């Protein structure tokens, strides 16, 4: 079983995570995790705190010479802002508990509910842990999971599709959102797919028909389109470069610019914005998750993980809510067979999951983030102690954090998928896990062809 816990206050000395259940022998360079941490810190609309922090992971246990040992992995991320908060946040008796006390709960944050639940009279005791600063630790843990998935030829990519009222254009009948954005970003979609760069050779390299990674079979597709030969993937390396170059992690250039203008408008108005991001996973074998129990369904686990991210209020898989308005004939992905390709689909409206089990198509999930609760033009609230009406507290804040949340989304999706892989393929060493995976792929070949 793969599990993890995080600890740490936003302005405390550091964030910590402990991960258990990783196989021994997994290469885990700090730089790999740091790259994801840097992406999480990015995104247009972030507040002043991100100019202070420079998140870097330090492994404290479970890793030696850059490889996992099989023992629990402990990791640590320093809070640079601690330097300004030491007196107030000191874990010892010296803490100045009378300083920077917060008593005016912000609507939409955990302030009031948390203070009532834990008996706090200073809301600081709530916001320090409710803060999405915690997501730095989750991204670090998720990066470890992502590294494991790479070894199995499974790759994750996320992009922002909406910020406030600005969304990437609805895809045409024969297009899905990612390929439409790609085409706009420079005709990449036309270049088509390339073979998977990493992973278990047979999972991707031999193209055993497990992974049909065509972006054109994405959710939002109402038309049908032939998929490329099995084992082909979109050029994820290039895609990631394009995405990282966008300040809002959106491929559609015009939309990205409009998103930034909208964030500027919100900032000037003392307001905040939410949005929607989409995560896609390529190279998944059929058979992860299970329909046999509610808590083993992968759709439920993924939705739970995404909903557990601060400010995420909705999750869709595949067509999601749009599917509810359509007849079944326009929703379900018909099954075809050919000698070259085995079983295959021409559409992927299910988003890669049927019955809570991966079906071999790319996974497509979207999450909706509400607007940031802290407003520079604060909403009305009531003082926790005096019960007098006041404008809510203004803590330094982001105006929009959807791009950052997208990186967190990638991390938690990676985690759930890695956990499902560990559950299915097991093994104390990476070598053993890969051999088990290979055996499963060999078995699948006998069923698919």
Ligand X SMILES: C=C(O[C@@H]1CC(C(=O)O)=C[C@@H](OP(=O)(O)O)[C@H]1O)C(=O)O
Q: Report the nearest approach of ligand FMN to the CB of residue 48 (Å).
A: 10
User: Burial, 307: exposed, middle or buried (Cβ in 10 Å; 0-12, 13-18, 19+)?
Assistant: middle
**Is there a contact between 403 and 44 (Cβ–Cβ < 8 Å)?**
yes
What number of other Cβ atoms are within 10 A of residue 159's Cβ?
26
The residue within the footprint of ligand FMN, chosen from 77, 132, 137, 203 (CB under 6 A), is: 132
Does 135 contact ligand FMN by CB under 6 A? yes
Q: Report the nearest approach of ligand FMN to the CB of residue 10 (Å).
A: 9
**Is there a contact between 434 and 200 (Cβ–Cβ < 8 Å)?**
yes
Does 9 contact ligand X by CB under 6 A? no
Does 47 contact ligand FMN by CB under 6 A? yes
Q: Report the nearest approach of ligand X to the CB of residue 378 (Å).
A: 14
Both tokens of 394, joined, read 């203004």
The residue within the footprint of ligand X, chosen from 39, 76, 124, 133 (CB under 6 A), is: 133
Task: Give, for 243, the enclosing helix (H) or strand (E).
Answer: helix 236-245
Mark the binding-site residues for FMN, compressed into ranges.
129-131, 310-311, 355, 370-374, 396
Work out what residue 408 binds among ligand X, ligand FMN, none; the CB cut-off runs from 5 to 8 Å by kind. ligand FMN
Mark the binding-site residues for NADP(+), compressed into ranges.
40, 46
For ligand FMN, give the closer residue by CB, 109 or 124. Answer: 109
Both tokens of 94, joined, read 């010296």
Work out what residue 110 binds among ligand X, ligand FMN, none; the CB cut-off runs from 5 to 8 Å by kind. ligand FMN
Does 411 contact ligand FMN by CB under 6 A? no
**Is there a contact between 420 and 302 (Cβ–Cβ < 8 Å)?**
no
- Nearest Cα neighbor of 277 from 373, 409, 399 is 409
- What's the CA angle centered on 405, arms 182 and 240, to 5 degrees? 30
- Nearest Cα neighbor of 148 from 444, 441, 425, 440 is 425
For ligand X, give the closer residue by CB, 347 or 374. Answer: 374
The residue within the footprint of ligand FMN, chosen from 309, 319, 384, 414 (CB under 6 A), is: 309
- What's the CA angle centered on 56, arms 237 and 156, to 5 degrees? 30
Which residues contact ligand FMN by CB under 6 A? 47, 108-110, 130-132, 135, 309-311, 370, 372-374, 397-398, 401, 404-405, 408
Which residues contact ligand X by CB under 6 A? 10, 47, 49, 53, 131-133, 135-136, 310, 395-398
């Amino acid at each position: 079983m793969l599990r993890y816990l995080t600890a740490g206050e936003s302005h405390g000395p550091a964030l910590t995570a402990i991960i258990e259940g990783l196989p021994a022998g997994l290469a885990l360079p700090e730089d790999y995790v740091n790259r994801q941490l840097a992406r999480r810190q990015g995104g247009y609309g972030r507040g002043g705190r991100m100019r202070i922090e420079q998140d870097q992971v330090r492994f404290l246990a479970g890793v030696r010479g850059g490889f996992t040992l099989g023992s629990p992995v402990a990791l640590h991320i320093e809070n640079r802002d601690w330097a300004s908060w030491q007196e107030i946040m000191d874990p010892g008796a010296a803490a100045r508990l009378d300083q920077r006390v917060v008593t005016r709960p912000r609507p939409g944050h955990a302030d009031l509910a948390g203070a009532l639940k834990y008996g706090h009279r200073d809301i600081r005791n709530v916001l320090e842990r409710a803060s999405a600063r915690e997501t730095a630790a989750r991204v670090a843990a998720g990066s470890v999971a992502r590294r494991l998935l790479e070894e199995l030829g499974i790759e994750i990519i996320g992009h922002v599709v909406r910020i406030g009222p600005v969304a990437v254009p609805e895809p045409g009948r024969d297009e899905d959102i990612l390929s439409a954005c790609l085409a706009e970003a420079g005709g990449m979609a036309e270049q088509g797919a390339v073979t998977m760069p990493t992973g278990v050779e047979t999972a991707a390299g031999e193209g055993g028909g497990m992974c049909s990674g065509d972006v054109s079979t994405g959710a939002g597709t109402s038309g049908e389109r032939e998929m490329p030969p099995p084992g082909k993937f979109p050029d994820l390396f290039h895609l990631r470069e394009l995405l990282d170059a966008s300040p809002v992690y959106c491929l559609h250039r015009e939309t990205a610019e409009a998103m930034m203008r909208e964030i500027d408008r919100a900032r000037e108005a003392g307001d905040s914005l939410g949005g929607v991001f989409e995560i896609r996973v390529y190279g998944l074998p059929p058979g992860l998750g299970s329909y046999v129990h509610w808590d083993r369904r992968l759709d439920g686990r993924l939705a739970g993980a995404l909903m557990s991210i601060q400010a995420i209020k909705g999750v869709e898989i595949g067509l999601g809510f749009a599917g509810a308005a359509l007849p079944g004939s326009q929703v379900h992905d018909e099954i075809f067979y050919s000698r070259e390709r085995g079983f295959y689909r021409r559409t992927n409206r299910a988003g890669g999951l049927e019955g809570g089990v991966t079906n071999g198509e790319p996974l497509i999930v979207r999450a909706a983030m509400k607007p940031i609760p802290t407003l520079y033009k604060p909403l009305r609230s009531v003082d926790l102690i005096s019960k007098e009406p006041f404008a809510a507290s203004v803590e330094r804040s982001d105006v929009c954090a959807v791009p950052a949340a997208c990186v967190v989304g990638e991390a938690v999706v990676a985690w759930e998928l890695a956990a499902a892989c560990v559950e299915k393929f097991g093994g104390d060493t990476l070598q053993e896990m890969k051999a088990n995976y290979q055996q499963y792929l060999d078995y699948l070949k006998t069923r698919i062809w």
